[in-house]
Amino acid sequence: MGDYRRAYERSVTDPEGFWRDAAALIDWVTPPGRILDDSAAPLYRWFPGAELNTCHNALDRHVDAGRGEQPALVHDSPVTGALTTYTYRGLRDEVAIFAGALRRLGVAQGDRVVIYMAMIPETVVAMLACARLGAVHSVVFGGFGAKELAARIDDARPVVVVAASCGVEAGRVVPYLPMLDAALDLATHRPQRCVIFQRPQHPGRLREGRDLSWGAAIEDAEPAGCVPVAATDPLYILYTSGTTGKPKGVVRDNGGHAVALRWSMEKIFNTGPGDVFWAASDVGWVVGHSYIVYGPLLTGATTVLYEGKPVGTPDAGAFWRVAAQHRVTTMFTAPTAIRAIKKEDPAGRLVRDLPSLRLLFLAGERLDPQTYEWAGSLLGVPVIDNWWQTETGWPIAASPRGIEALPTKPGSPSVPMPGYRVRVVSPSGSEAAPGEDGAIVLQLPLPPGCLPTLWGDDARYVSSYLSAYPGNYLTGDGGRFDEDGYLYVMGRTDDVINVAGHRLSTGAMEEVLAGHPAVAECAVIGVADPLKGQLPRGFVVLKSGVEADPIGLEEELVALVRAQIGAVAALRRVDVVSGLPKTRSGKILRRTMRGIADGTDEPVPSTIEDPAVLDRLRPVLLDHRG
């Protein structure tokens, strides 16, 4: 039995012993006695009765251990030309001062603070300052629309809102204060104060009596110490990016979160103190929470905060420049980012020498085999697909490089991580055989670090996640295991289409389309059909510099799908388009595309990266010929 198998078996046969050992890597005010509280099942809590402070574990403990001069945070902003490094001591001191400022504004343990900011160091400072006080932060992605921001303010009911005056992107500045003003006009809850970090690219107009500049807030503020909190107390709320209805506030507790992230950094990402970890994501998403801010700092690594894009800041070599300049050892980004780089620089001419880079992790949406193979051959390092969700906070499936360098398989995020009892089930709830598609569920209890509930709504947590298959958490994703126990995640279960009674995965069709040498990225959606219920439609974006006859290419792609999946797939139309609509985190808006094609007026998420892309695609979606 290999090291991974031993670790996994222990995690499911002796979960309390497994996580007790993992908790030894965390500093506790009151060490854990009981490990798992199952008295209110299916609502489980980890480390009841224990006390700690997450900010102490992320900053102070490293300073106290004599590593205060090690770089903790590197802010690299090609869009503003800024490059700043914070040591652990320097970051701790800034966090303590801002925590003192928040305390002076009335923020106390258990209070909420909404953070509406950009990819700047002050965002990290604000998050950690809340953790220092035992307050609960809720980061809302910078540039989120007023209606969505208002809904989150009304649900979290913050004492203070911390905002930046603007965000900066390649070629444009996005003012935030008009959206904050509109959100607070819409919201029924009124925060006591708003702290505004004025960015020189676009200072905003402050509202007298409500707004306070960051500089004024911290002036003469007394540094705040770390407040011990219960392990089961919430650290943050992160709202899922739904388009309608009341947002779902995913809760992350302090104790389980610290234990799981510290364990995952070492055992999954093979990252330890002094290593340089770069998650090329956004702090507004779960990857940013887990692996820009908390995971690396809990570990004593150096984390990179990048304010830029994979292409356009200034070119498709931007990521390789950052990785080389900052001697990144482990990199984490989305497959979409790598596909964007591949589209602009398919031959990899802009890649630099990367002697420090050991591993590239990709997650966020399905990693197609072509992107996996391109990145691996280009960089010469292992490419590790991994799969998880906002709700879980850390990977469900991966190749755990700090335990055992398991071989990877194209199209698979590898195997379940210790603590996760992953099952693939049929609609009746019975176990699917290897190779058979089904719904992916996680047997309860979920491991530490996963959501214990939704903010203020246990009943909704149970009905949304735990009721479909009692005793299991519904991931909402479909897939299968192979004979070796490797998991294949084929996409959201609502991306499984029904063609004349045959259930077909659009992800499988996308895998075929992406394999064509002319295709940079693709999407397949199911559209309503009066005869067969649904029919698939494909959309492809060509690689930069590739010219192809659209009709001839469509025929080639349709033939490929027919050859590899079968005539049952019924894919007869593939359109060549200039771009696919995506969220700012890189997810393709398949549901929105499907709604437009079906005429159901699907709302457009405020997280869309470029609405013009969807506007250009709309006439194609509405064209139902053939």
Q: Classify residue 80 by burial, with Cβ atoms within 10 Å: 0-12, 13-18, 19+.
A: middle
Q: How confident is the model at residue 599, as a pLDDT?
A: 85
Q: How confident is the model at residue 518, as a pLDDT?
A: 92
Q: What residues are paired with 213 via a beta bridge?
A: 196
Q: How confident is the model at residue 243, as a pLDDT?
A: 38
Q: How confident is the model at residue 171, as a pLDDT?
A: 84
- State pLDDT tens for residues 470-484: 999 999 999 999 999
**Sorting pLDDT into bands at 50, 70 and 90, what band is 531?**
low
**How far apart are alpha carbons 577 and 537 in whole angstroms?**
13
- State pLDDT tens for residues 497-524: 767 555 577 877 888 899 899 999 999 9
Question: Are 192 and 159 a contacting pair, CB within 8 Å?
Answer: yes
The residue-averaged pLDDT of 205-224 equals 97
Residue 188: pLDDT above 70? yes
**Sorting pLDDT into bands at 50, 70 and 90, what band is 291?**
very high
Q: Which two tokens stand for residue 256?
A: 């389980």
Instruction: Give the chain's domains with CATH numbers.
Output: 3-420 (3.40.50.12780), 500-622 (3.30.300.30)
Q: How confident is the model at residue 141, as a pLDDT?
A: 86
Least confident stretch, 102-116, 214-228, 449-463, 591-605: 591-605
Q: Classify residue 91 by burial, with Cβ atoms within 10 Å: 0-12, 13-18, 19+.
A: buried
Least confident stretch, 104-118, 278-292, 323-337, 511-525: 511-525
**Sorting pLDDT into bands at 50, 70 and 90, what band is 587?**
confident
Residue 194: pLDDT above 50? yes
- State pLDDT tens for residues 388-434: 999 999 999 999 999 999 999 999 999 999 999 999 998 888 999 99
**How far apart are alpha carbons 152 and 78 in whole angstroms?**
31
Q: How confident is the model at residue 586, as a pLDDT?
A: 76
Arithmetic mean of pLDDT over the chain:
92
Residue 251: pLDDT above 80? yes
Q: Extract the runs of DSSP E, i.e. beta strands, from 420-572.
A: 421-425, 438-443, 472-481, 487-492, 496-499, 502-505, 519-529, 533-542
Q: How confident is the model at residue 496, as a pLDDT?
A: 67
Residue 208: pLDDT above 50? yes
Q: How confident is the model at residue 244, as a pLDDT?
A: 41
Residue 548: pLDDT above 90? no
What does the radius of gyration of the chain's CA atoms come to, in whole angstroms? 24
Is the Cα dihedral 222, 223, 225, 226 positive or negative?
positive
- State pLDDT tens for residues 342-398: 989 999 999 989 999 999 999 987 788 889 999 999 999 999 999 999 999 999 999
CA 504, distance to chain mean position in Å, is 27
The residue-averaged pLDDT of 296-312 equals 97
Q: How confident is the model at residue 241, as a pLDDT?
A: 58
